[in-house]
């Protein structure tokens, strides 16, 4: 039972941290502004997410692979948008 | 040996995703601007990080507790700064 609760908490946590990038993408695309966003933050974050993805693949944990695979794509999109709307 | 590599990858991943917020904090504090940053992103992300923290506490995994505890504080600071430098 404790395990079920834990997996539900982990699943909710993964969904939150993954979908959180969507409002930021919507904001950049709508406003065409990304000046206040730190490029370094997203470069380091995307590296970290990539390492989590490798960790997930090595440990064959589908939830880690899925959450970090999607986050990796979303953060890469934010990096591209930041480069485009630098000012 | 595979386990040692995996733990090292997990540790590096945790360090990256945690410290990544520091350049964003430095940028906001220096520029006193946070207009382009999505408040919703940080609200959802901080909720997710809090859930990972609970997950870490329930599973007694120090690395998850430490990484998400620090990330929770850093993201909460970004939310406070965003409210302060909204425009």
The answer to whether domain A2-84 has CATH 1.20.1280.290 is: yes
The ipTM is 0.92
Domain ranges of chain A: 2-84
Q: Nearest CB to B13: which of A26, A36, A52?
A: A52
DSSP class of residue A36 equals T
Tens-level pLDDT at each residue, chain B (87 residues): 678 888 899 999 999 999 999 999 999 999 999 999 999 999 999 999 999 999 999 988 888 899 999 999 999 999 999 999 986
Q: What is the mean pLDDT of residues A23-35?
A: 97
- How distant is the Cα of B84 from the closest Cα of chain A, in angstroms? 14
pLDDT (0 to 100) of residue A33: 95
For residue B51, how many other CB atoms are within 10 A of its CB? 21
Query: Is the Cβ pair A41, B23 closer than 8 Å?
Result: yes
Residue B31 is encoded by which pair of tokens? 């520029």
- How distant is the Cα of B20 from the closest Cα of chain A, in angstroms? 5
- A5: which chain B residues are within 8 Å (Cβ-Cβ)? 58
Dist CA A31 CA B13 (whole Å): 31
Residue A82: pLDDT band (50, 70, 90) is very high
């Amino acid at each position: 039972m404790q395990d079920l609760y834990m997996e539900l908490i982990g699943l909710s946590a993964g969904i939150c941290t993954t979908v959180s990038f969507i409002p930021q993408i919507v904001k950049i695309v709508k406003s065409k502004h990304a000046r206040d966003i730190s490029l370094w933050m997203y470069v380091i974050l995307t590296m970290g997410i990539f390492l989590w993805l490798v960790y997930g693949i090595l440990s064959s944990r589908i939830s880690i692979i899925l959450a970090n695979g999607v986050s990796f794509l979303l953060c890469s999109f934010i990096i591209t948008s930041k480069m485009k709307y630098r000012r």
